[in-house]
Chains A and B, each alone.
Chain A
Amino acid sequence: MQTERNLLDRRWVVKVLLSDRRDLLVVTGLGAPTYDCAAAGDHPGNFYLWGAMGGGAMVGLGLALAQPDRRVVVITGDGEQLMGLGALATIAAQRPDNLAIVVLDNERYGETGMQRTHTAHGVDLAGIARAAGFPDARIVRGEDEVHALATAVRQGRGPLLADVKVSPEDLPRVLPSRDGAYIKTRFREHVLGQPAA
């Protein structure tokens, strides 16, 4: 689904990525990506960040290393990932093949008044990931590419980074729980079984 300006609709992108998710584990970056993932359907395999800006990809790395037989996807924003550029080097050095980072790139700091981010000035997150050593780093602009990305997130040999160019719309917020301890415990029970020791 594309908007008039021919940019992807972020809610549609996340819905495609998380449909038929099976045992996919999801870490969401603060702000709009957290709302987008909640809008696609709350799930105990979602770990929602409401802060810790710049940490989303690293939470994904720790999880991917701890659970090498499961697929892990970090769904975050361009502002959040720009704060954690060093993490791309750290992830590339570890090379977890079960980790994907999907940046919903609206080229804006959406939570703070839609100021333009570095990607609006031409900074190429996929290029940075590729130069760091990610075996799969791509820019996604079309609907077919979103479907291909959904397959790569489930089956591809990562680490993968996809910079998905999305429309800078301010969409209605869909708020999941903000209780971090609850989200953590629910997530651990989902992954490790009850009771999570």
Chain B
Amino acid sequence: MHTVQQTDRAAAAIPPDPADWPAGIHRVLREAQVRQVAYVPDAGHTKLINLCHDDPAMRATVLTTEEEGVALLAGAWLGGQRGVLLMQSSGVGNCINMLSLSKSCRLPLVMLVTMRGEWGEFNPWQVPMGQTTQASLELAGVITYRADEAEQVAETVEAALHFAFDSEVAVAVLLSQRMLGRKKWVK
């Protein structure tokens, strides 16, 4: 398998590897001048979180619960900065009432959600929220995109960023569990 290090790529201007979707997201976040990255960690977001922490142009803030991120990014926008919120699908339920902030104030919001409970899930406790993530977001007024293939991810996140910041709407991108790969429980 062909892998390219981020630093090598930057140095040699090698075209992006579409399979390396976390690097693709980081690239489009940079291009969109995203300055604040709020997250509750997920294994699927590990590489992207590390890229954001290592990027001096970004402030990465770890949260105790996902709804904090909705409020944090509202404040960021009030102060003139763009942000994104990273979470796992189980965190979407934690956000519901706080999403009224985005809706009531017509604030932009971009949520990048790694899915659980939808593809070969091992843990039954992930299923209730995973199976209702998209419907919950849509009921709460969040426009929802899905990315099922690694090759679609950067383009989808880029569209979400433009949509949210240009039209002042809340947009979530659901990153499919099939693409992320099933969690390995026996190491």
Contact = CB atoms under 8 A, between A and B. Distances in A.
Interface of A: 25, 27, 47, 49-67, 84, 86-87, 89-90, 93-94, 180-181, 183-184, 187-188, 191-192, 196
Contact of B74 (A55, A84, A192): A55
Contact of A52 (B61, B62, B63, B71): B71
Contacts, number: 119
Of A58, A94, A188, the most chain B CB neighbours within 10 A belong to A58
A47 to B, nearest CB: 6
Q: Is the interface of A mostly helix, strand, loop or mixed?
A: helix
A52 B75 contact: no
Contact of B100 (A52, A181, A187, A188): A52
B66 to A, nearest CB: 10
A62 B106 contact: no
Contacts of B72: 58-59, 61-62, 90
A29 B64 CA distance: 20
Nearest to A55: B71
B59 interface: yes
Interface of B: 35-36, 59, 61-65, 67-81, 83, 97-98, 100-101, 104-107
A58 B75 contact: yes
28 contacts: A27-B75, A51-B101, A52-B100, A54-B67, A55-B71, A55-B74, A55-B101, A59-B72, A59-B101, A62-B36, A62-B72, A62-B73, A62-B76, A62-B83, A63-B78, A63-B79, A65-B36, A65-B59, A65-B76, A67-B79, A86-B65, A86-B68, A93-B61, A93-B62, A181-B104, A187-B78, A188-B78, A191-B78
Contact of B101 (A25, A52, A57, A65): A52
A53 B68 contact: no
A184 B36 contact: no
Contacts of A93: 61-62
Contacts of A56: 71
Nearest to A58: B71
Contacts of B64: 86-87, 89-90
B105 A184 contact: yes
Contacts of A183: 105
Contacts of B83: 62
Given A58-B71, A184-B106, A65 B78 contact: no
